[in-house]
Amino acid sequence: MLLRRRTGWPAWGWRSPFEELERMRREMDWLSSGLSRGLFVEPSAGVYPLMNVTEDGDNYSVRAELPGLKADELDISVTGDTLSISGERKLAAEDEKAQYHRREREAGTFSRIVRLPGQIDTGKVEARCADGVLTVILPKAESAKPKQIAIKAS
């Protein structure tokens, strides 16, 4: 009884002698990766581009940082509750004789789908791309907006 509460093992059935070691190894890996990444670890899909989704009473807003991309290089589409963004980031071709000291920027294709917490009105979606930041405003469908319910005192 005490054993079960303290360690969470099932009191019966011990599938393999290495199961406990396996669990400890996984937890150590997770801890050490957390230490090296810094104290504030954001949950991330790890897919480019990183996006922030916010909501207020009437809309969802999705923002992504896409430096160097213009509005016509992006492909955005929506369905009932998902938003999909895809495109290709190209780097300008520079002089052939140029010698690079640093190359930290990358080019390539990207494609990402985000599922929103509620249904949206697909006819009224607006998207803006300014200064390398893409902002998509998705108005909530009428059924998804919060409605106040009056309480009757009887």
Neighbour-count burial of 69, counting CB atoms closer than 10 A to its CB (0-12 exposed, 13-18 middle, 19+ buried): buried
What residue type is assigned to position 95 of the chain?
A: D
Closest separation between CB of residue 36 and other proteins, Å? 12
Per-position b or e across 9-28, b if 16+ CB within 10 A of its CB: eeeeeeeeeeeeeeeeeeee
83: number of Cβ within 10 Å: 23
Nearer to other proteins, 72 or 154 (CB): 72
Can you give the binding site for other proteins, defined by CB under 8 A?
Answer: 38, 42-57, 60-61, 63, 65-70, 88-111, 114, 116-117, 129, 131-133, 135
Closest separation between CB of residue 57 and other proteins, Å? 7
Nearer to other proteins, 22 or 79 (CB): 79
Closest separation between CB of residue 98 and other proteins, Å? 4
Closest separation between CB of residue 6 and other proteins, Å? 36
Rounded distance between C-alpha atoms, residue 21 and residue 19, angstroms: 5
Nearer to other proteins, 10 or 43 (CB): 43
